[in-house]
Amino acid sequence: MKFSKIAFLGLFVASSAFAHQFFPMKTDNGYKVGFWADDHWGQYQPDRVFGISAKDSKGKNLKAGYDYQNNTIFIEGNPSVASLNYDFGYYTFTKNGKHYAQIRSDLTDVGGANEVTQTRKIYKMGKSIFAWDEAAKKPLGLKFEIIPLQNPLVLKEGDKLKVQVLLDSKPVSGVEFEDQNDDIDGVVTDSKGIATLTLTKAKDGLQIIAAGIKLPYNLDRYGDTLQLTATLSFKSK
């Protein structure tokens, strides 16, 4: 599925409940998908990973992809930045506060199904910064993306990080954030898509910052809302 084919109506609405982050992780044995689920590393469905990309220090696109048999990311060369996409599927929300990883017509909770308030199609877009250079400073062209406006690799817990959030390569205002520890209260992007975040305690040496939005969705008959999550990950001091 290509995001460029998705049609939208109306303005976006900021979303605060967008936990579950996906992003490329660099390990001693190469690269893999990192899935941070609220407060722990989680398991994911490999067949939902797609759109792996990577650039070197000069901004050159590197050959990159996903090995579905071994559940690993392969990147040829030395990437400064890499990204991936994950299809999180459909989630249906009901008036009684429950939510189901199903489309509304598949609900078996009859009482809840009669009180459906929303069905979301959810995509996750994650980016990792491995080195700070021209390639890492520029947008990758993701549908929804967080851009660090300063070198994040030299920062530590308690430091400030200024970022810009882009939707369709344009600044987007009113977007909220969370990180590897919790929601980031009281911080939203301004009219230029810019916000300043205070880094909290890293998890396994990683900062995992996410932004989320919800948009009207009319690509198919199963969902009425498109939920997008952009993740920025990097190692901190």
Q: For the segment 34-55, what is each residue's pLDDT rounded down to a tens digit?
A: 999 988 999 999 999 999 999 9
Q: Name the token pair of 123.
A: 């995509």
Sign of the Cα pseudo-torsion (171, 125, 228, 230, in order):
negative
In this prediction, the residues of the chain whose per-residue pLDDT falls under 70 are: 1-18, 109-114
Confidence (pLDDT) at 105:
85
The 3-state DSSP class for residue 145 equals: strand
Q: Among candidates 134, 133, 143, 100, which has minimal Cα distance to 118?
A: 100
Say if CB 192 and CB 198 are below 8 A apart. no
Global pTM value: 0.90
Confidence (pLDDT) at 44:
96
Confidence (pLDDT) at 10:
34
Q: Please name every residue paired with 147 in a beta bridge, in sequence order, or none if there are none.
A: 164
Q: Name the token pair of 10.
A: 């109306």
Confidence (pLDDT) at 113:
63
Burial class (CB in 10 A: 0-12, 13-18, 19+), 171: middle
Confidence (pLDDT) at 110:
65
Q: For the segment 163-196, what is each residue's pLDDT rounded down to a tens digit?
A: 999 999 999 999 999 999 999 999 999 999 999 9
> Which residue in this structure is represented by tokens 């901190």?
236
